Amino acid sequence: MATTADIKNGLYIEFNDDIFTVVQFQHVKPGKGGAFVRTKLKSLTTGRVIENTFSAGHKISVTRVERRPYQFLYNDESGFTFMHNETFEQILIQPEMIENPDLMKEGQEVEIVFHADSETVLSVELPPFVALEVTYTEPGVRGDTSSGTALKPATLETGANVMVPIFINTGEKIKIDTRDRSYSERIK
């Protein structure tokens, strides 16, 4: 059993019957009163970020989590199928466990996060950036920057819809940030 002195970014803890990762923390020692630790915790099951304050010395339950490399094979009505890169074992995962599943294409490398003690899947993490081809977007109109951002909708090869700059055309490969679904750069 650990205490609040052991809290650091990336630590996995059991809290309120859920598993959370510490996104941000700050040890605070006010002039008056006891010290405490202010944290931002992200749930691995729901993806929700909550803020919580622990008093100094509070016992926390640290849990072991393993990240394993998998490859996305295909999806159908029963879910998404992944294959372990070394053992070739296949696993079926429901779309709710995957953040931005529409940004995955067949053959995509991902990391699946497992609870080490119970061997249950907690989440599927895509790499920070993926390269995808634009299958459809309206032609950009010069001078169409009234909003100041100059973005237009585009459909990617996986069926995902994202916003891209007006100079991007159908058939081009682009890099997409999987964390916020934003355009990053054009790939030559």
On the question of pLDDT at 146 being above 60, the answer is no
Sign, Cα dihedral of 20, 22, 24, 27: positive
DSSP string, 34-52: --EEEEEEEETTT--EEEE
The CATH number, out of the four listed (1.10.150.110, 3.40.50.1220, 2.40.50.140, 3.20.20.70), of the domain defined by the range 129-187: 2.40.50.140
pLDDT bracket for residue 157 (50, 70, 90):
very high
**Helix (DSSP H) and strand (DSSP E) numbers for the chain:** 0, 16
Does the predicted TM-score (pTM) go above 0.85? no
Q: Residue 131 — φ and ψ, nearest 5°?
A: -100, 120
Statement: residue 140 has pLDDT above 80: no
Q: Which CATH superfamily is domain 67-125 in?
A: Nucleic acid-binding proteins (2.40.50.140)
- Per-residue pLDDT at 135: 94
Could you give the residue range(s) of every CATH 2.30.30.30 domain in the chain? Answer: 2-62
* Whether the Cβ atoms of residue 156 and residue 136 lie closer than 8 Å to each other: no
Predicted pLDDT of residue 33? 87
The reported pLDDT for the residue numbered 116 is 86
Chain-centroid distance of CA 22 in Å reads: 14
Q: Are 99 and 126 in contact (CB under 8 A)?
A: yes
CA 45 centroid distance within chain = 12
The class (CATH top level) of 2-62 is: mainly beta
33-62: pLDDT as tens digits: 889 999 999 888 777 899 999 998 899 999
